[in-house]
Structure 1
Amino acid sequence: MPSYIPLHISKAVKSIWDRWNIRGAILFSLWLQVLLIMVAPLRKSARGKFNIILIWFAYLLADAAANFAVGLISNSQRNQYDKVGHKANQNSEENSDLLAFWAPFLLLHLGGPDTITAFALEDNELWLRHFLGLGFQAGAVFYVFIQSLPNKNLWIPTLLMFVAGMIKYGERTSALYNASLDKFRDSMLKEPDPGPNYAKLMEEYDFKKKNKLPTQISSTLEPDKEAKASDIPPKTDRLKDLEVVHYAYKYFQTFKGLVVDLIFSFRERDESRDFFKIRDPEDALKVIEVELNFLYGTLYTKVEVLHLKTKKIYVGYILRFLALACVLATLGIFYFKVNKHEFRGVDIGITYTLLLGAIALDVIAIFMLIFSDRSIASIKDPERPPWWAPIYKAFLVLMRPWWKNCTCNCKYKHNSEHKLLATPLVVRRWSGSISSHNLIRYCLKSNRKSIHEFPSWWQIMFESILRFLKLYECFDKCATCICHVIEKCLSPIRKGLGKIFWPCFEKIFFFCAKDFMDEMVYVSLEPFSLDLWKFIFVELKTKSEFADTPETATRISSARGEWALTNACEEPERGKLLKYLTGVPYDESILLWHIATDLCYHHDNEKDQKNNRQDDDTENPTDQQDNKHEELTYRQFSKTLSDYMLYLLVFRPTMMSAVAGIGKIRFRDTCAEAERFFKIRDLHRNQDEKACEELLGVRTDVGPQEVKGDRSKSVLFDACMLAKELNKMNNKWKIMSKVWVELVSYAASHCRASTHAADVSQGGELITFFWLLMAHFGLGEQFQINEGHARAKLIVGK
């Protein structure tokens, strides 16, 4: 038996590889650049896993493909010489001059597109590695160029492309360096402030005391030297689109220090709080959206490098247009001056593809740069915009949040419409969705559910056109019938394919990527509701009105539901509920209130359905209908925030690391107990309502810990006790929604700021909006600087 297995590669395969390895690597590198510049911006506005994975693969392969191609070209240049240093017989398939001309294009590709310099926040910390890579790759390209000399036809175009490649690669390295947390922190720090000369003052004081002069020290606060009028006048009515960008950039410049845990003055807090207190919630949402978009551009793209300005000279713009000019000049020289008869036709085609591809990528990048929020913010005076500002205004109209009136999936008699975010993907600044995970649904392996369906943006546009043409009524009826027929036909096919293929994939992924598959299968997406945002905004605004001192602001931002209970419950009720919030660890309170919310939600849903059947022929007064609408709205708020917090606890542990404790262990123990209970009661998938009814039917006169002990961290039946307490209250949904806002606020304020910054590149999270809105309202511990210095004077009595 041979000690090895012989492998044979045919000559035809080797010939194809020798002919196309360099060409294929270069074209593949160009294709990756096109993919990145078009798809990378979508990662801040889409939460899809496959989209993120695609961008991740392209980001990693882009550098690898370019480096590999440079190595192949360098190796081919080395092999063209024999042992004594004379040129050997060159492969008829390759031309050393043309290969040397292709090499600088790979420097251009290593510079990457403007839309992505870092995939994750940690990539910025590797700026030194990229700087060394710049040196090594530039050296390799220069080596290839030297090896090709004398290069009579292409040495000038090669040098021009080398300059363009160095500029692009230098831009990326500079962007990574500026976005590293240390550099980011240094850029935010002001000049060192030693304060008044304490030692000199005390020397004078001691001298006068020794000479027995009646001396005392009098101190007064000097005015804050930084207190000055804002460049943008205050505005009390609704904000225009251009003003939204300007205010967002202004507060981004102030509060971007949150990312590196800097502290701020009370002047900055008061200015921000006064601005947001008079804002409409929708305007506040627009400002925060754009503010987070500025943060994304600074940390993950080249936008700050391109806007680099030194002594009123836009260095970034000059270098970018110089790079483009070099590529255009190269195209002109290659087309008009270079003798192309010695090159193969396919190589000429590849060369034109590389040149036109580089020009197209630069033109797209310049177009994106011109219409970026950073460029729009450069308009100095929004009240007196320049003549070209209307172009930006028309573009900003498309960038507005699009809202669509929709009713919830559960059909209630007193159901009301909600405005849901339906902004098209290409102009969206964040995903506009809230991830939801449900413990009972997960234990029963039930299908994913959402309170509202995502509105389709293309359908919104089509409806708008039909409304304009007075054809909407006809379309609405026809579309409803067509969709119903299609769904009825496709549903059995989809279910049949799922039963055939899913068990195989489930077993495969269970062993290698269980958490990933759990998120793919059991986590649903809930559309972002304007009513939910208004409720959150009002709650945080109300809390900010009591945060006059740093101690009060810290206490309020650290509340875990007790603030809501104090303002919404009477003393006996508050005492019964408080032990489930402050009397247990935070991660346990999340699980307790999540399960209790789910039990109450399904219990009230079933009760409403029974009432609907009984009240079909009766008319309720308007006041009762309004109360039903309000109760249903609070119920949906509580359900949305409850499922969202469980999603963060289970699938985003980095966002909850400061407060989660042993949350994953509690979740697994609770799931194990729930699955055992459902198995004994013979409950199957999609029987969520019946499961909740069975759980509420269990007697809980004696506490579970007294019976089971505390080895298991399950909180299933503790949550049942909480749900029964809540069901006794009339305004339970209003209380629960307020409690959930506080629980999310607590997690937002205790999450590491760098984690919030990292998440803006993955579609954005609602908890990040909490974090930034709380900072704008002055809630937190980051405001610690008083106004001005204490000016001390020596007063000598007579």
Structure 2
Amino acid sequence: MKTFKFHSIPSHMKALWDEWNIRGAILFSLLVQVILIFVAPIRKCARKKIVISLIWLAYLLADAAANFAVGLISNSQRNEANNSGQKLKQKPQENSDLLAFWAPFLLLHLGGPDTITAFALEDNQLWLRHLLGLVFQAGAVVYVFFQSLPNDKLMFPTVLMFFAGFIKYVERTRALYCASLDKFRDSMLKDPDPGPNYAKLMEEYEFKQKAELPTTINMTPEPDKETKASDTPPKEGPLNHLEVVKYAYHYYKTFRGLIVDLIFSFRERDESREFFNLRSAEDALRVIEVELNFIYGTLYTKLEVVYSWYGFLCRFLAFASVLATLGLFYFQRKGEEYDGVEIGITYTLLLGAIALDVIAMLTIIFSDRTFTLIKNPDRPSRWPFAFVFSLFLALKKPRWHHCYCKHRHQVLATPLAFRRWSGSISSHNLIRYCLKSKRQIIHEFPSLCQIVFEYIFGEQVFASLTEICKALEPIKEKLKILRWPFTKIFSLIIRIFSLFMEETVDELLYVSREPFTRDLWEFIFLELKKKSEFADTPETAKRISSARGDWALTDSNRDRTKILKYVSDVPYDESILLWHIATDLCYYDDEVHTDVNKMEADIFTRRQFSKILSDYMLYLLVFQPTMMSAVAGIAKIRFRDTCAEAKRFFKGRKLGPNQDKEACEQILLVNTDVGPEQVKGDRSKSVLFSASMLAKELKRMESEDGEEKWRVMSRVWVELVSYAASHCRANTHAAEVSKGGQLITFIWLLMAHFGLGEQFQINEGHARAKLIVGK
């Protein structure tokens, strides 16, 4: 019988590992810190999941690499002794005092960069685990230090470095603790308010009643102690860059309690509503962008810890310790027998620590929080600071660029380095998914190169080049045959992964990113502004935020009962699927029976709004169930049943990929005189042909009543998005801030600023009761 002989690892490989395991681990830990400090802020404005996944990997590797390196150093410092107490030969080759000097650097790395403390909101809840990690890792470093004694050549630099590393780790632990939802809620709560002394008042009232004195209780409202903030009228007209940040910080401090479901007073509602009623849609977007960035900084970075007197003091002491360590090492290393590689690694660690601190300081200086500290920027002595900061803020201003479509819509095209959120809307389409069609978008993302090229050579030159590229499309199609082997291999890999991660693969293949347009935001802003005009009482505000069908109450002379039932008489998740499919059916029906190019601008734009919001809401329903969990119900079952019926129908009609238009036309051709629920029963939750009935009703309404269907559908979609935004859990909105941001989160915050929702429940002041004794 043949036996297999396992060969051991070659001796030279073992020697290489013994020599470089600690060096490689500590250098890798430093490299990950450098990557994180630069790349971590990108996650709040990333458009692609792969970018966020890579940042998540770096976040996990940062702690793992540092912990691993500390373990290697600690293990290498175990000095075995013989009976006479003499130390045996140590491995690896580095000096024990130098290893003890390197260990505190890993404590510094475990403190992490300022730009990321938590990757997800749940990480903040694990602050106690990090506190325990601080105790154990600091203990390991102290153990390594004592193991190096009596070698005290680098004792003072090691102590200083340990002090700096300990401060950084404490900073991170405190940041996680302050950002945990329980602590965050406690910090928002004001002092307990028992109200007027009811028991004492009633005792006096009872005493006077027994004395048969004619006594009455006179109620007078107590003046609000906090009205001073609303005494200053808000600014009218456009906001400059510094004013945007200041107002955003003011409303952040006022409304950050939304994250933990706190309630607010009507004074705060009235002040906010008055301010946003005076704003343009773009200024409102700028304020909300910065406000969400403050939320991001509080929950996912060291912002709150650094911006305090003890934070500045700790940061100064930590930086001074690193600088002092560099000086001491430079003078003490002379005359010592250190290897050249060891010296290089040590200087790399020292200079890396200094560079990371300098970058962190620059990040603090040019953060939005610093800009809020500028008082009276119009004073001559502060002009230089105001000018520099305004110039920097101008780079972060939302930048719009014309898209090459019929009506030249403007899309958000802020460069990545200055973007505050992704500026994109995720889209998923049921019919496209069932047909396995290619992803499609209505507007194109303009690249930075395109914008620069147009700025230098003009739009006409770029348009000519675009036409030339389109003329070369047939050649590109012919060259695709060369990609056939790679396409087959990729397809095989996708099939394998889909067996284990079907939803992830579906999101990768069938979810597209649609640019955020200025017209869409203005449309949503005006619709919510119009709704806020009627939200005068808590009951009205709650009804409006929970409304489904308010669009049918305007123009009451029109009969809309036949389409109203598809909103108000069905569960919310079913309503989304019905209107999503109906939007697709009407969208492609227009391309078959209507000359889209001759549509008036308003109708054409509303048609695009409906399509974008329709695909966005389906994306949330399918791929973001946590955002829709409060309202979605059995959405997953309903979606799968509808997909199964659609696939069966398309297979029977022999429809394949990229035949979306033909598929919609075939669905509309099916006779629906008898409703599907009467024929199929209630076991299947598919809504495919119920949506076809809705689409036909919309077409009938347009032809008979003369009402444009896209005006109705666009308002329906704004209402459905608003309903989801107000019913989504607040901490889920906060969680999405670190993943590129969601349009629904902007709508949620805008609704709060307009006074729409259930969070305003406190009237002005208490009622002051006074006993009046009459004759």
- TM-score scaled by structure 1? 0.93
Aligned-residue offset at 1:332: 1.8
Q: Which residue of 1 aligns with 2:744?
A: 767
Q: Which residue of 2 aligns with 1:14?
A: 14
* 1:454-465 to 2 correspondences below 5 Å: 454-465=445-456
Aligned-residue offset at 1:333: 1.8
Moved more, 107-116 or 91-100: 91-100
Render the CA deviation track for 1:140-172: whole Å, top value 9, x for unaligned: 101111111123321111111111101111110
Aligned-residue offset at 1:340: 5.9
Aligned-residue offset at 1:776: 0.1
* 1:260-271 to 2 correspondences below 5 Å: 260-271=260-271
Partner Cα separation in structure 1 for residue 43 and residue 561 of structure 2 = 45
Q: Which residue of 2 aligns with 1:109?
A: 109
2:507 aligned residue (519, 524, 535): 519
SS at match of 2:514: strand
Q: Which residue of 2 aligns with 1:695?
A: 667
Q: Which residue of 2 aligns with 1:446?
A: 437
Aligned-residue offset at 1:383: 4.4
Moved more, 86-95 or 519-528: 86-95
Query: Which one-letter code corresponds to 2:675 in the other structure?
Result: G
Unpaired runs of 5+ in structure 2? Answer: none
Q: Which residue of 1 aligns with 2:126?
A: 126
Q: Which residue of 2 aligns with 1:191?
A: 191
Partner Cα separation in structure 2 for residue 3 and residue 739 of structure 1 = 74
Aligned-residue offset at 1:710: 0.8
Partner Cα separation in structure 1 for residue 740 and residue 557 of structure 2 = 40
Q: Which residue of 1 aligns with 2:211?
A: 211
In structure 2, the CA distance between the partners of 1:742 and 1:338, relative to structure 1 (3 Å rule), is same
SS at match of 2:46: coil
Does 2:634 correspond to 1:662? yes
Does 2:658 correspond to 1:686? yes
Q: Which residue of 2 aligns with 1:436?
A: 427
SS at match of 2:237: coil
- Report if the CA contact (8 A) 1:243-1:382 is conserved: no
In structure 2, the CA distance between the partners of 1:92 and 1:505, relative to structure 1 (3 Å rule), is closer
Render the CA deviation track for 1:615-663: whole Å, top value 9, x for unaligned: xxxxxxxxxx6x6111111100000000000000000000000000000
In structure 2, the CA distance between the partners of 1:551 and 1:15, relative to structure 1 (3 Å rule), is same
Partner Cα separation in structure 1 for residue 2 and residue 374 of structure 2 = 76
Aligned-residue offset at 1:324: 1.5
Partner Cα separation in structure 2 for residue 222 and residue 367 of structure 1 = 48
- Report if the CA contact (8 A) 1:153-1:339 is conserved: no
Partner Cα separation in structure 2 for residue 482 and residue 81 of structure 1 = 76
- Report if the CA contact (8 A) 1:565-1:739 is conserved: no
Q: Which residue of 2 aligns with 1:794?
A: 771
Partner Cα separation in structure 1 for residue 446 and residue 540 of structure 2 = 42
Partner Cα separation in structure 2 for residue 336 and residue 698 of structure 1 = 88
SS at match of 1:420: strand
Q: Which residue of 2 aligns with 1:555?
A: 543
SS at match of 1:297: helix
In structure 2, the CA distance between the partners of 1:527 and 1:221, relative to structure 1 (3 Å rule), is same
Partner Cα separation in structure 1 for residue 81 and residue 452 of structure 2 = 64
* 1:392-471 to 2 correspondences below 5 Å: 392-408=389-405, 415-466=406-457
Aligned-residue offset at 1:85: 4.2
Query: Which one-letter code corresponds to 1:207 in the other structure?
Result: F
Aligned-residue offset at 1:118: 0.1
Q: Which residue of 2 aligns with 1:622?
A: none
Q: Which residue of 2 aligns with 1:637?
A: 609
Q: Which residue of 1 aligns with 2:494?
A: 506
- Report if the CA contact (8 A) 2:216-2:773 is conserved: yes
Q: Which residue of 1 aligns with 2:329?
A: 334
Instruction: Report percent identity of matched pairs.
Output: 66
* 1:337-416 to 2 correspondences below 5 Å: 337-339=332-334, 341-384=336-379, 385=382, 387-408=384-405, 415-416=406-407
In structure 2, the CA distance between the partners of 1:486 and 1:345, relative to structure 1 (3 Å rule), is farther
- Report if the CA contact (8 A) 2:19-2:92 is conserved: no
Partner Cα separation in structure 2 for residue 780 and residue 586 of structure 1 = 18
Q: How many residues align?
A: 767
Partner Cα separation in structure 2 for residue 211 and residue 36 of structure 1 = 77
* 1:230-245 to 2 correspondences below 5 Å: 234-245=234-245
Partner Cα separation in structure 2 for residue 249 and residue 586 of structure 1 = 35
Q: Which residue of 1 aligns with 2:594?
A: 608
Partner Cα separation in structure 2 for residue 21 and residue 648 of structure 1 = 46
Q: Which residue of 2 aligns with 1:533?
A: 521
Moved more, 599-608 or 443-452: 599-608
Partner Cα separation in structure 1 for residue 470 and residue 171 of structure 2 = 50
Render the CA deviation track for 1:643-692: whole Å, top value 9, x for unaligned: 00000000000000000000010000000000000000000100000000
Moved more, 290-299 or 372-381: 372-381
Aligned-residue offset at 1:452: 0.3
Render the CA deviation track for 1:732-752: whole Å, top value 9, x for unaligned: 101110010010111111100
Aligned-residue offset at 1:2: 11
Unpaired runs of 5+ in structure 1? Answer: 309-313, 409-414, 613-624
1:477 aligned residue (464, 467, 472): 464
Aligned-residue offset at 1:7: 5.8
Aligned-residue offset at 1:303: 1.0
Partner Cα separation in structure 2 for residue 80 and residue 590 of structure 1 = 70
SS at match of 2:174: helix
Aligned-residue offset at 1:229: 3.4
SS at match of 1:216: strand
- Report if the CA contact (8 A) 1:216-1:796 is conserved: yes
2:720 aligned residue (738, 743, 762): 743
Partner Cα separation in structure 2 for residue 361 and residue 568 of structure 1 = 62
Partner Cα separation in structure 1 for residue 616 and residue 364 of structure 2 = 35
- Report if the CA contact (8 A) 1:430-1:763 is conserved: yes
Aligned-residue offset at 1:10: 1.9
Partner Cα separation in structure 2 for residue 605 and residue 701 of structure 1 = 25
- Report if the CA contact (8 A) 2:76-2:92 is conserved: no
In structure 2, the CA distance between the partners of 1:32 and 1:344, relative to structure 1 (3 Å rule), is same
Q: Which residue of 1 aligns with 2:563?
A: 577
RMSD (CA atoms): 2.0
Aligned-residue offset at 1:193: 0.8
Partner Cα separation in structure 1 for residue 499 and residue 471 of structure 2 = 39
Partner Cα separation in structure 2 for residue 363 and residue 705 of structure 1 = 67
- TM-score scaled by structure 2? 0.96
- Report if the CA contact (8 A) 1:36-1:113 is conserved: yes
- Report if the CA contact (8 A) 1:658-1:752 is conserved: yes
Partner Cα separation in structure 2 for residue 251 and residue 446 of structure 1 = 44
- Report if the CA contact (8 A) 1:36-1:115 is conserved: yes
- Report if the CA contact (8 A) 1:568-1:735 is conserved: no
Query: Which one-letter code corresponds to 1:423 in the other structure?
Result: T
Query: Which one-letter code corresponds to 2:522 in the other structure?
Result: K
- Report if the CA contact (8 A) 2:244-2:286 is conserved: yes
Render the CA deviation track for 1:407-459: whole Å, top value 9, x for unaligned: 33xxxxxx311110000111100000000000000000000000001011232
In structure 2, the CA distance between the partners of 1:458 and 1:432, relative to structure 1 (3 Å rule), is same
Render the CA deviation track for 1:85-132: whole Å, top value 9, x for unaligned: 432223472210100000000000000011100000000001111111
Aligned-residue offset at 1:275: 0.2
SS at match of 1:229: helix
Q: Which residue of 1 aligns with 2:730?
A: 753
Does 2:336 correspond to 1:303? no
Aligned-residue offset at 1:4: 10
SS at match of 1:134: helix
Query: Which one-letter code corresponds to 1:739 in the other structure?
Result: V
Partner Cα separation in structure 2 for residue 666 and residue 531 of structure 1 = 32
Q: Which residue of 2 aligns with 1:311?
A: none
Aligned-residue offset at 1:489: 3.5
Aligned-residue offset at 1:328: 1.5
Aligned-residue offset at 1:12: 1.8
Partner Cα separation in structure 2 for residue 44 and residue 381 of structure 1 = 31
Partner Cα separation in structure 2 for residue 601 and residue 347 of structure 1 = 68
Q: Which residue of 1 aligns with 2:582?
A: 596
- Report if the CA contact (8 A) 2:107-2:138 is conserved: yes
- Report if the CA contact (8 A) 1:704-1:717 is conserved: yes
In structure 2, the CA distance between the partners of 1:90 and 1:690, relative to structure 1 (3 Å rule), is same
Partner Cα separation in structure 2 for residue 50 and residue 763 of structure 1 = 12
Q: Which residue of 1 aligns with 2:554?
A: 567
Partner Cα separation in structure 1 for residue 121 and residue 409 of structure 2 = 36
